[in-house]
Amino acid sequence: MQHSRNWHAGAIVGTLLATSFLTVGVNTMAADRITELPFSTRSEVIAQNGMAATSHPLATQIALDVLKRGGSAVDAAIAANAALGLMEPTGNGIGGDLFAIVWDPTSAKLHGYNGSGRSPAALTLAELQRRGLTAMPPFGPLPVTVPGAVDGWFALHERFGKLPMKQVLEPAIGYAENGFPVTAVIAHYWQLSVPRLAAYPGFSEQFTIDGEAPKKGQIWTNQNLANTLSQIADGGRDAFYKGDIARTIDTYFKANDGFLSYEDMASHRGEWVQPESANYRGYDVWELPPNGQGIAALQILNILEGYELSKLSYDDPHYVHLFVEAKKLAFADRARFYADPAFVKAPVAELLSDEYANQRRQLIDPKRAARSVDPGNPALSEGDTIYLTTADSNGMMVSLIQSNFRGMGSGMAAPGLGFIFQDRGEQFVLKADHPNSYAPRKRPFHTIIPAFITKDGKPWISFGLMGGAMQPQGHAQIVINLVDFGMNLQEAGDAPRIHHTGSTEPAGQNAAMTDSGTLNLESEFPYSTVRDLISRGHRVQFAVGPYGGYQAIMRDPSSGVYYGASESRKDGHAAGY
């Protein structure tokens, strides 16, 4: 779907280009808004007793129904995630991993969970190199790692759930059996996935209708997934990791040149982790530590805190320039240091220190785009995803993200199970001396990251912005939109986005940038901004995406009222009661 147009210093920028940019830009935005900024798609959702925001309307309804039945925010999040695995297989499913941050009102603390799976024990770097590979393939059996989502559900539920898991999974099972109409955005991405995944065993049989993707409005059922979820509901996590499901998985990969085994499944466990934070102008922004990329968002914010962004605007070329340059510095470190901490411990405290941010900030030239960026010395693609957030009447708030990585994942779908395995192992580096180098039973560098903001020790906003390497860039932009530019929760997500790509992606393939990369801007940015950025040496491109998908819930600290916001670029919505 990628439609793009490039502007750079050597390009011929004609009248037609300028006209087309303006025609789809700010000049066509609504001028009759009563309250919100012109680019805002709608007002915030406001409710008192509970809130849910997901990328599918039916999943949002399911979450609210669970809350109304007395379920906790965690119950609602699990129920919505299970439904999204059915309804949005283009971004997630029980063949993928899960990360979450939970605000627990009882302990008045944030709790982080890392539900990422490890690589197969029988696959080695030497075997991959023997096959002549210099990078992990994006599809097929080799990039498959243990799926951690189901284990994550049960870990979260054991600590914070109220309703029986059978009741929590019941809505997803019902929709899988009885069907639902496919929505527009999901139908589009499903259609793109079928040609590249149809060759993999089990995919066409379970994820097409007569060899084609379901169309918008067409009813889709998945009886195989209904059966799998029913086994999980009855038998718990062990039904997935140690029962017949795991044995089917073992047989399937042995028959298809794969390495994921019963023993890999049976030995899996996720872990509770301490979220990391950075204070940005009085607000504490929280992310999970590596093997995820969350601290890149904190590094960007730490660098940008040294500038008076409130005197600028979201479309000011100087702000865009500073943002992109800060991103380059953070992503150089991301490529060099982020990996499974059980193998190589990243210097997180140093990367997030004020002193380090001051050092890195000095490398930014306010008038020129950097063409070469090296990682610092602190202590010494595009994937698709779903993000959801829920909140209950007791004040519990959940920030949860789940993914197959590359859209529908590896294409590998074991017979009779109704889900596709993630290809998260593609993020490994096939170099022996790199922190993110492939090794057996190792967690790869991860792109999916939930986020949270607290103020004076109290919960303020649970949010996320899905979309591969866009995620930390998007997280930082949401915080800046809220704190510096004074936007409300919905405006902060609707505002046109910046997405920079460069040679530091995917993480670890190169530890330094060798050119200025490409700056993608959404069409609402004025052409005057584009011209200015080109003059500073940026290679600017107008592209359809990816710009990620945003959901958020804010809690008013004085009244306890919830505000919800949803992503206008996706099918879903926020709703409360």
Q: Is 221 a catalytic residue?
A: no
In contact, 483 and 280? CB cutoff 8 Å:
yes
Virtual CA dihedral for 51, 55, 59, 63, nearest 10 degrees? -20
> Distance (Å, rounded) from C-alpha 297 to C-alpha 319?
16
Virtual CA dihedral for 503, 506, 511, 514, nearest 10 degrees? 0
Chain centroid to Cα 408, Å, comes to 14
> Distance (Å, rounded) from C-alpha 44 to C-alpha 60?
15
* Residues linked to residue 540 through DSSP beta bridges, in sequence order: 7, 519
CB-CB neighbours of 42 under 10 Å: 13
Between the CA of residue 78 and those of 30, 47, 158, 244, what are the distances in Å?
A: 37, 21, 12, 23
> Distance (Å, rounded) from C-alpha 58 to C-alpha 404?
20
> Distance (Å, rounded) from C-alpha 571 to C-alpha 245?
31
DSSP-based three-state secondary structure for 293? coil
In contact, 335 and 504? CB cutoff 8 Å:
yes
Active-site option among 54, 90, 228, 385:
385
Phi, psi torsion values for 40, nearest 5 degrees: -70, 140
Which DSSP category does 487 fall into?
Answer: -
Phi-psi region of 305 (alpha: psi -120 to 50; beta: other; left: phi over 0): alpha
- Supply 291's token pair: 């093997």
In contact, 492 and 482? CB cutoff 8 Å:
yes
> Distance (Å, rounded) from C-alpha 153 to C-alpha 169?
10
Read out DSSP for 342-368?
TTS---HHHHT-HHHHHHHHTT--TTS
Q: Which amino acid is at 86?
A: L
Beta strands in 445-548 (DSSP E): 451-455, 458-466, 498-501, 518-521, 540-543
Which DSSP category does 568 fall into?
Answer: T
Read out DSSP for 376-430?
--S-----EEEEEEEE-TTS-EEEEEEEEESTTTTS---TTT------GGGGSB-
User: What is the helix (H) or strand (E) element at residue 271, kind and residue range?
Assistant: strand 271-273
Chain centroid to Cα 273, Å, comes to 18
In contact, 370 and 328? CB cutoff 8 Å:
yes
Among 297, 289, 304, smallest CA distance to 358 is for 304
Phi, psi torsion values for 438, nearest 5 degrees: -65, 140
Catalytic residue set:
385
